[in-house]
Amino acid sequence: MNTRVSTGAAPGKVILFGEHAVVYGRPAIAAAIERGLGATAEPAHDGPRLDIPRWGRSGLHIRLGERQPGIESVARAFAAALEAAGLRDARLRVTIDAELPPGVGLGSSAAFAIALLRSLGEFRGAPFSTGDLLEAAEHVERVFHGTPSGLDHTVVALGGCLRFQRGREPAFMPVALAEPLPVVVAWTQREGGTRDVVGRLRERHDAQPDLYERLFDAMGDLAEAAVEALGHGDFARLGALFDLNHGYLNAAGVSGLANERMVAIARQHGALGAKLTGAGWGGAVIALAPDHPERIVSALQDAGFSATATRVGATS
């Protein structure tokens, strides 16, 4: 029996510009964050098992083959990762140490996929190449999100800050930042999963494609403008671009009451700009906060939201 204890890690992410529009082929910019997820794979006497002690009320404990209502998608994602690693029936146990809250738009599912696959690659004695890792992560992400653009798991796998565009061959390249971005990230529960938000937007788009395509064009233009502003460290311009992007996302119908409240609080307490980040309908927001981010964090926490000040986009 393999006696190897193998580990894998991955950061979470924030989308700085272009969520949703990226699904329709427009460019988007995303960055890795400091919080992440670690996976440890070790030999076990019974079949594949997965434990995530910090998710759910009393942790998630997956035994493949058993019916476990409420956590089927995590079980199917685990099975997809094992399949991709050629370890479908291996006697192993994986434990995930998750610093990231699940399902709020901070890349928990993409980080789950990448950290898990990395640990499985080590466990089998043949780490995934970057190309194979991205392909395998897409299969795992599909279990959670249906037809993901690929943005989330690409930035989580590669780290730093990336410009990403979906296509037959996804195009991604690092965005050079004048300095890591000082931001406040805040989050709360979501009103629906990414799959639901993306699906409902698809219905609205298909009913009036011309109008929505124009909205997505505008979001794509913002992402292009942001590459330049990020390169120059032009925070005033970036803040304005955040606000514009949030307005477009609101127009697209993906903002929720909680996003609007968090964005308003951040702006009132000194953010240069703020927007929802990720799929929306609750979940997370990001605020550009070069000065006194602690004031924004306290105001958000006083209002009952989770919030932290951090820097994003640093290349490790």
Q: Would you tell me which residues interact with ligand MEV (CB under 6 A)?
A: 15, 19-20, 22-23, 105, 145, 148-149, 151-152, 194, 198, 278-279
Nearest CB to ligand MEV, comparing residues 123 and 144:
144
DSSP state of 23: G
Decide: helix, strand or coil at residue 217. Answer: helix
List Cα–Cα distances, 22 to 30, 80, 121, 182, 252, in angstroms.
11, 25, 29, 24, 13
Decide: helix, strand or coil at residue 175. Answer: coil
List Cα–Cα distances, 31 to 91, 152, 200, 265, in angstroms.
35, 9, 26, 23
Residue 150 CB, shortest distance to ligand MEV, in Å, is 7
Backbone angles phi, psi at 95, to 5 degrees: -115, 130
Residue 146 CB, shortest distance to ligand MEV, in Å, is 9
List, edge to edge, every strand of the sheet that includes 282-288. 273-277, 282-288, 181-190, 306-312
Q: Which residue is nearest to ligand MEV (CB)?
A: 149
Q: Are 156 and 114 in contact (CB under 8 A)?
A: yes
Give me the catalytic one of 46, 97, 152, 291: 152
Comparing CA positions, the residue from 268, 303, 308, 312 lying closest to residue 284 is: 308
Residue 252 CB, shortest distance to ligand MEV, in Å, is 10
Nearest CB to ligand MEV, comparing residues 51 and 99:
99
Nearest CB to ligand MEV, comparing residues 6 and 255:
255
Q: E strand or H helix at 307, and its extent?
A: strand 306-312
Nearest CB to ligand MEV, comparing residues 127 and 146:
146
Residue 107 CB, shortest distance to ligand MEV, in Å, is 7
Nearest CB to ligand MEV, comparing residues 197 and 307:
197
Whether 243 is catalytic: no
Residue 149 CB, shortest distance to ligand MEV, in Å, is 3
Nearest CB to ligand MEV, comparing residues 8 and 105:
105
Residue 180 CB, shortest distance to ligand MEV, in Å, is 21
Residue 243 CB, shortest distance to ligand MEV, in Å, is 19
List Cα–Cα distances, 300 to 15, 105, 115, 137, 280, in angstroms.
20, 17, 30, 33, 17
Hey, which residues does 173 pair with through a beta bridge? Answer: 163
Nearest CB to ligand MEV, comparing residues 90 and 252:
252
Comparing CA positions, the residue from 162, 203, 183 lying closest to residue 262 is: 183
> Distance between CA 207 and CA 245 in Å, rounded?
22
> Distance between CA 32 and CA 107 in Å, rounded?
9
Q: Are 184 and 271 in contact (CB under 8 A)?
A: yes
Catalytic residues: 152
